[in-house]
Amino acid sequence: GTGIGSTDMATVMATGKLWFRVPEIIEIRLEGTPGPHIYPKDVILYVLGQMKADGAVYKGIDFTGPYVDQLDVAGRMVMCNMAVEMGAKCAYMQPNAGVLRFIDQRAQFPYEIQYTDEDYQYAEQHVFCLDGLTPQIAAPHSVDNVVGIESVGKVRIDQAFIGSCTGGRTEDIAVAAEILRGKHIPRFCRLIVIPASAAVFQDCMERGFIRDLMEAGAAISTPGCGPCLGAHEGVLAPGETAITATNRNFPGRMGSTGADIYLASPATVAASALTGMITDVRTL
């Protein structure tokens, strides 16, 4: 069961064991080929908009399909990370060669790869075609309030944020640097960039991405969550509007409950920082 009564709690205290329900598994199959400048964050936001925030409560997700098969490690991290925003207990993608290379460079002990049985019967199956997908935006105040960027309109922003576990990998910072290199953000807009780890920070410095972003007017901070949890390094004030590559946008998530938060890909965030308004990166 999902609850613990007084008798059960006594057993837990005596034995040190807990009972948990084994989650049902649902398949989310991703087919088709998104166009240029459509990123894994756009894909998972689109799925979230369709599945909704309660679409996988107490379930595990097995992401499958041609799109997943070619996806790199950073993209897989983005999508599996945000599975929890559908209520999922866990998410899995069967590894490709790039994933195995990533693991082999880091693993200190032998490991075993778990594959889904060919005849496995999922509790649910959902198929999404990604052909023609446009950049996706989760508008205030829910992660599943997702629309294509063409439906957002002209929204002025005070802050743009690239970072956190969902949007602070080398690949995320690289695409932002590519968009902003040789340019500068407007004076009324803040751009905060926080690498996800010390290793990512070092890699981005060596590749020149940090220099490019600083010259464009970005503030770079110590690896960590930053304003994603509304505690430090970019907390929003009442009435402010932010666009961010993070994973949640409910009221108060990044500071004041009176602020508006839009979720998007790092590319969309960088493009928006450049213009001071929510901007389709494909127009640059």
Q: What pTM did the predictor assign?
A: 0.92
- Confidence (pLDDT) at 230: 86
- Confidence (pLDDT) at 17: 79
User: Coil, strand, or helix at residue 222?
Assistant: coil
- Confidence (pLDDT) at 13: 72
- Confidence (pLDDT) at 1: 41
Which of 183, 67, 58, 179 shows the shortest CA–CA distance to 124?
A: 58
CB-count burial class (<10 Å; 0-12, 13-18, 19+) for 16: exposed
Q: What is the pLDDT along the chain (284 residues), one digit of tens a residue?
A: 445 555 666 766 778 777 788 999 999 999 999 999 999 999 999 999 999 999 999 999 999 999 999 999 999 999 999 999 999 999 999 999 999 999 999 999 999 998 899 899 999 999 999 999 999 999 999 999 999 999 999 999 999 999 988 899 999 999 999 999 999 999 999 999 999 999 999 999 999 999 999 999 999 999 988 888 888 889 999 999 999 999 999 999 999 999 999 999 999 999 999 999 999 999 99
Whether residue 216 contacts residue 180, with contact meaning beta carbons closer than 8 Å, is answered with yes
- Confidence (pLDDT) at 47: 98
Rounded Cα distance, 58 and 132, in Å = 31
- Confidence (pLDDT) at 5: 56
